[in-house]
Structure 1
Amino acid sequence: MSEILPRPTPPAVESVVESPAGSAVRPDPPAAIVLAFRCWLAGVVLVVLALPVLLLTGMGELTADVWRRVHLADPEVPDQAHSDFGFFLLPVVLLVLLLVPAWFFVAGAMRLREGNPAGRTALAGLAVPGLAFVLGSAWSLFSGVVFVARSAAVVWTASTAGVTVVALVAMYRPSASEYLREVGE
């Protein structure tokens, strides 16, 4: 009579699993990697899209203030309608300028999700100037340089800095480090 043996249990994390077709299949990334990936993308959206929209909300007050000061200095200056377009173009120019560094954040997040340790290294390096940009933007939002509702500035600053810090912490969690070590080899 044959004896029934229990099935062996597979290891908890396998670096590469062979599929029936013979191609290597990567395991699903752990929750920490997925969280970091989503936070980096959310940070990109907050900086590239939400910041120009936030600035656009204060452009009316900014143009009025500039023209008040100009007319105090020289009452013969023509009306403000000619330069309103230039003021409203500033957030659009900012959006275009922010697309270039945003591409590096997105590329790093994609590499991180794929299990490439270079993605984590790149994102950690980009986080320092990224947080400096957020804090510099917050200073201009709070100091009155840019006319934006203070509550909107607080929400933008806290959410942008928050997702950046959460992404940094998540991508260095032990499960994330193990995933990058296993898959990145």
Structure 2
Amino acid sequence: MQRQLITLTVNGERREVAVLPHHTLLEVLREDLGLTGTKHGCELGECGACTVLLDGRPALSCLTLPLAVQDCEITTIEGLERNGKLHPLQETFAELGAAQCGYCTPGIILAGVALLEEIPHPSLEQIKEALSGNLCRCTGYTAIYAAVEEAARRMTAPIPSGKGSDNDA
């Protein structure tokens, strides 16, 4: 089978890659682009381990053909870090122990990021619904939900103006 040269925008960077027509986006990300944060789970779209963001919306990369997403912005877990700083949801996952084995964590975080972009102050029920396509076999989800709630709080907290701070002296 012959490879086809396509251009994908992954984590803000345009990348040319020669793909086999039957390969999934998951295979291209992991094998051709070396982005192994996206996990290989069930290949059936049932576990959510392969979740990426396509134009900011969660998508299962194991069911997505790269040819179909050439005009999309693809975000993987590697694309959340900005200038050496983790996304607030990545920080709260680490701080609250929301990851056990960590295998499902990238997909859950990306689904959570999409939720927080759409609904800055989600209810617990909205969080549960947004993450319902992501299975975790190690946790009881309580710490995961708490991490999303804490990230939402941090992301929407007012930024101090500096007035009355110790730096004004």
TM-score by length of 2: 0.27
With a CA cutoff of 8 Å and minimum separation of 6, indicate the structure with the bigger relative contact order: 1
Higher strand share: 2
Higher helix share: 1
Q: Which has the larger radius of gyration?
A: 1
TM-score by length of 1: 0.25
